[in-house]
Structure formats: structure tokens, C-alpha cells
Structure 1
Amino acid sequence: MNCIKITPSPLKGSINIPPSKSLSHRAIICAALAKGTSHIENIIFSEDILATLEGMKAFGMKVVDIDTNKETNRNRITIEGKGYIEKLKEIIDCSESGSTLRFLIPIACLLGEKIIFTGKGKLVERPLTSYYKIFDDQGIKYSNDNGRLPLSIEGTLKPKRFELEGNISSQFITGLMFVLPLLSGNSTIEITTRLESKGYIDLTLDMLHRFSINIQNDNYSRFYVPGNQNYAPSDYKVEGDFSQAAFWMAAGTLNGDIAINNLNQNSLQGDKEILNIAAAMGANIIYTDEHIRAIDSQIKGIVIDASQCPDLVPILAVLGALSKGKTKIVNAQRVRIKESDRLKAIASELNKIGADIVETEDGLNINGVDTLNGGVVDSWNDHRIAMALAVASTKCREPLIIKNSNAVNKSYPEFWQDFVRLGGVIDEWNMGK
């Protein structure tokens, strides 16, 4: 078990934010489905991105070159797609990546051959009911371990009208969007309830368009997908990740002065909503052409609707815990089925160190405090919980020990190095199992 001991201190300086994980997944998959060579720049090999790369290699994609910038540790990968997929491996290990699993399952249904998906951690039990309904309807054979991975599928997806609820993970919708344009006929995706996480669908539609795939969006209630389309190769540079930038914005706001580089202020990323939420709480956020800067501020509690930005919930809970007055986070029930039950995890760990948080069915009721105590907390093996707790340490009176601190490798392998670059004082060690 890896642990980090943090001696509380302000975080100040400039940070180069890592590339968007959501966009990296999508760019790699689109390049793999194209016939020809694509260059994808600004990639970090986090555990989730490695899972998608290996998964698409199992479907015939070739990574013909990797050019690494030694100073930034960013990679430019050259991908060669065949314009079709083939079965090079029967077993695809998705590690703990929900995106990899839910994006690649429909792709496997282009083959008509048996493919087995495996994983570890909470991914093993994360729900796939939306796909199972489609499989049952289309006669695609599948089996699992009492609803858990491994999942074995065999069959071919056919064009039709697909119905999906809008309050499920948008990953199911994106997974279908990758594949339906390649089928022999036209399809429609009908959204039967209000669509949450619209920003992720915007990212998918934009990336598909970059690779010459067109889907018509009818006000997010239905999507018209013409069949018989072909992906064309494209060169793409992944923009900075607002999901990760949110941690540094919070750290600067709570106790510091942090300039965040490499963010596209016109981004389609749903987690860009952190800018509006921080502003509503009274954070001092300064915009320049070069960066977005967050400065130590006195913030107030507000009501936060997390339906369109669920990945922000852990760090929003930290902001709320250290604000003046009351914060309510609502419409966040879906985060209970992420890498951890994030509502329970962040409430439990922050309460251990002096926060005043009560769980509700779909969110958190938070009474703000001025400072936290410090002590021992656990990441629940969840990268976003680990990073949120690290930010909370800046307002602790005593050192904070975070157990399972290496959970950050899932999405942000350099998080602890960046924390130190900004003045964080840490001691890392391994406690064994």
C-alpha cells in the first residue's frame, strides 16, 4: 500500500495541465477505426489510456511510432488503422477503465466473433445493463459472472432505433456512436429521459467530425446516424483536461496562487463548468491569453447541480467543506458507481478530518468550516478521491496521510510530482499489503 504524508502548505506557481483523458480515448479509437495514418499529439500514458491503446491493438490497430518529449513527458503517437477491425486477441483487459470497457464493447460487436472483456477493481461490477438490453433485442450472445466481469460476447450489431435513458452514463451513447456509422443501414439513438453529461456527448460528436464521421444531433433528444460511413485519418493535438485542472483551481482558491496552462477556454469539455461554479462561490479567477489563474479567496457555499459535471463532485465537496455557509451538491447519484461510491468516499474521508458533511441519496449537504484537522484518510483506490484529499491538505492544521495514494496513476501519473513543483511538502512510502 502506497501512502503519502503531506505537511500542509500553500501551493503557488505555474502548472502545465495534462491532456484530456476523455479526448485521448476518443482520438485513439477514431484513429484506429480509420484507414491510414493519424498522428495524435499530447498523450500521457495513464493506466486508462494504456488500456484503450491495448484494446484497440487487439482489434488490429498499429502504433507505428511514439515520439516522447523528455522535458514534458508528453507523447506523439502515430497510429495506423486498416479501415476495419479484426480479432487479434480474444481477451481484452480493460484494467479499471470504464471508458475503455463501454467504448470497446460495441466495437467488438462488429466482429461477430467471441470476445471476452476483463477488468479489475470496481470496474468488475460497474453496470452494463444498457448494452445487455441491446444484446437481448438483437440476439447477441453474452455471459458474465452474475452481472460482473468477465463478460463474453458473440454476435453482430445491426442498424436500428436504439433507446437509452439520459441519466445513465454517457459512455454507452458514445460507444454506440463509434460503431453505428459503420453499419450497413441508418440508425437512430433515442434519449428517453433528460440527458445528463451533455458535454461528453459534445466531445464525441466533435471528435467523430474530425475523423469525417457525421451524426445529426436533434437537441440531445435523438441522434440520427447515417450508415455506410468511413473514418478518415486525421492529425489531432489533445487539449488540456479541465477535470484535472479543477484540482489546481481549487488548491489556488483555498490556499495559494496557481497559474494553469494549456487550457482551451473555448473547450467543449463539460468539466469547464468548474469555472462557473468557482465564480459563483466567489473564487478569484483571472483569465489571460496564456493561462487561467486561481488565487486565495474567501468562498461561500452554494447549490451545485452536478448532473452535467459528475467528475467534479469530489473536489467540489472539498471546496464546499471549506467555504462560508452551506453547500448542497445535488443530482450526483451516478457518482456512486464510479471507481468508488464517491459520495460516501469523499464524505467519509473529509468527515474524518473535521468536515461537516451529510450524504443524501443523490448528493451532499455540507456545512463549511474554516480549517480541517489533518490525520489519516484513504483514497478508496479512486484517483479523484486521492487528488481531492491532497487539495484538502492545504487547509489542514496537522499533516495529512493519504493511504492508497498511487490511485492517481489511473488518470494523472505525474500528480504528486506536480504537487511538489507547486510547493507541496510530501513524504512517500510503501506500507506493504
Structure 2
Amino acid sequence: MSAALRYLSTRGNSPDATLSEAIAAGLAPDGGLYVPDHLPKLDIAAFKSDGSLAETAATLLAPFFAGDALAAELPTICAEALTFPTPLRALPQHPKTSVLELFHGPTAAFKDVGARFLAACLRRVRGHGAVPLTILVATSGDTGAAVGAAFHRQPGVEVVILYPDGRVSPRQAHQLGCFGDNVQALRVQGRFDDCQRMVKAALNDAALQAQSPLSSANSISLGRLLPQMSYYAHAALMWRREHSEPLNLVVPTGNLGNALAAVWVRAMGLPLGKIRLACNSNATLPDFFAGHDYLPREAIATLANAMDVGAPSNFERLRWTFPHAEVLREQLQAQSVDDQTISDTIALHAREHGEVFCPHTATAMHVLDQLRASGDDAPWAVVATAHPAKFESVVEPLIGKSVDVPPALAVMLQRPAVAEPMAAEDGALREWLLEKAALAS
């Protein structure tokens, strides 16, 4: 068996950690993101040809867990978390066009995969009777609900969700505030990047951590990022078995966690081909991949609100994976899609193909439409990150009919929802958390 991986900070100024330590901490002490000391290589033959998503995940992630306290529990963690399908569904308009549907979990978004896996890990890492842990999560729409659902009523854990007030869809906002019990929502008077900055500042505040132990459930957490690799591996292996060629992906992206998961799967030797990033009008990544310097900027509001990110956290991990800019630019391409084009794409595919996409999935569909129009005949899968019913105020006027609501989402929408306002200031969150800790003591 290969030696256990160690986990390092992308910024290089923190002690090495075990996987359990990295998952429990969320963010490294120096403010960096945890990464393995190297990406292991895997052989296709290691995977069961008829394995389930959970079995694929257990095989894929075994090298990351080797030697860790959680290693023996990995198959059970995967089986516990990955209880819903992530089908690769053929689309009718082209024989080599598919959609990888990642929205069949409890909150109708791909974030359910990582959130449920992280919750299953933390239940085991922390055990019973430990000091209560507060999970901080910044969300641009879908992450918060997935984390809230995964940790709802879990003993010893409090969840605090920060989201940009007025910049998520009405149904997303309702989901974020509908849990109660150990899950609380804060509607921040700012952008997602403000929420993300506030969470990172709190996690890096040693005095605050001493009063109220904190961790993260954003894609900065390895416990969320690693399981997201599983559905890409599963789809790629299935496609390769059936078609004897790699599968190419168009991935909608904002904070880069979902796309990074695909990049790591390919780097580990599994049969993924080209990876294209579909972004909205927030052009930080498209500008970089076009040859400009990496320049984070303030996010702007778009129809694809979950991707409204101007300073994507996981860029640090991407640069760790490919330290040289010219090599990194060879690995990926990125394209911006504006709101009018998102709307046109949703309407076009509903009218001509009977397919209804959420605004985020529509960015990826437009990128693929352009590839097909240019004569590209390769096998491509568009990654569908959320159910269109979560964005009914955008989608329904464009398609001229209502979108059926998945049962689990319908149940959430029937609950009352409450969210507390908060200024977009690091100090405001710090004071709120200290007051919360004082009330609990």
C-alpha cells in the first residue's frame, strides 16, 4: 500500500495535516487551502465495471484516505452520502451530447454530494460529546441549502449560512432560511465575495476560534471537494466502457470547486478529455485563460447567480496543481456568457428540444452549442448543476410554462423561512459569533 498522503496549505506556511485534521479545520492556519502533497494516479482496472456511484467514490478516494483515522469508514461514508443518482443522460440533438445531471439530491443542486459527504466525515471525526462546532458557509445560492440539509439537527454542530441579500433567487433564499434548529441564515448586505471574505476572516481569527470552534463547508473544505470528484470519475468510466473514448466536459463555474474536481480526476489518470469552463459575466477566469494576469474583482449580479464570484477561492488550488501559468492555460479554456445569451439559450432548448435548463446549466449549454456550430463532433457532456425549478422567476417566463418542483424542494418551500440581516463587515460577523458563543455558555 502506498504511503499516507499529507495535506499542505497552498500558501506553504502551515504545518502538514492529516486528512481528518484538514477536514475538521476547513481552512489552513495561514489562510491557505489544504491540498494533498501529490495527486495519486489510478488505474481504470481498479474500478468495478458495474459499480455504483458510492463504490466508484470509495475506490477513487481510497488513496486520499489511506493511513487516516477515517480510512476504514470510507466505504460506509460513501454509501451514507451518495444515495441519489447522478445520471449521464443522452440529449436528442446530437449522438455525442449528454447532460450530467447533478441535481437529484435533497436540495436539487450538485452541492448535495459534497455537503452530505462532509457531514458524514465530521460525524466521525468529532465523535460525541465534543465542544460544539460552528460550521460557517458562504453561499451564492445553492451551497448553503445543501449544507443546511446535510447538518440539520446533527448533534454538536451549529451551521451559520451567509448569503448576499437580494442576490439569490427567491426559492434559494427560502431554502436557506427554512431549517431552524441548529441552522441559522444571515442575509449579508453585500456580494458573495463579501460573504466569503467574512467567513475566511473568522476562520483565521485565533481568538475567535478559542471562544467558538469554527470550520467551513464551502468548497475550500477538502471534505466537500474530494467527493465531487466521484461523479466525474463515474461518468467518465461509464462513457469509456461504452464508447472506448474519453468524455469531454463543459462545467459551469464560479468559485471553481466543481471544475477543479474534474481537473483532479483527469490528472489522476481517468478518461476525461477536454474541460471547458462556462462562466457568466464575471470574467475573472475567462480573462486569465485568455492570457491576462489573474485579477480578482468585485462580483456583478447575473441570472446565473450561484456563479457570481469575482475572486474564486479554488484558484489557489488550481495554481498549486499547475504552478506555471502557461501550463495551466493549456489545461483549460473558459468563456463568459452574458444574461441575454443565458435567456436565449434557455428559451431555444425548451422550444426546439423540450429541454429545460437552469441559468447556470444554460451557460454550459451555450458553450457546447458554439462548439457544435464550429463543427466539433467530439463527445461532450454539459454539467447540469441545479434543477430549473429553483429559478422559476427566470426560467418560467422564458419557456412559457411552469416547472415541476421536485418533492424534496416542495417540502422545504412549505416551511417558514427566517434570515437575520448583517452588515458586510468582518467585525459584524465576529461580534455576532461571540455573542452567540456567550449565550450558549
**TM-score, normalised with respect to structure 1:** 0.28
* Larger proportion of helix: 2
**TM-score, normalised with respect to structure 2:** 0.27
Structure whose alpha-carbon radius of gyration is higher: 1
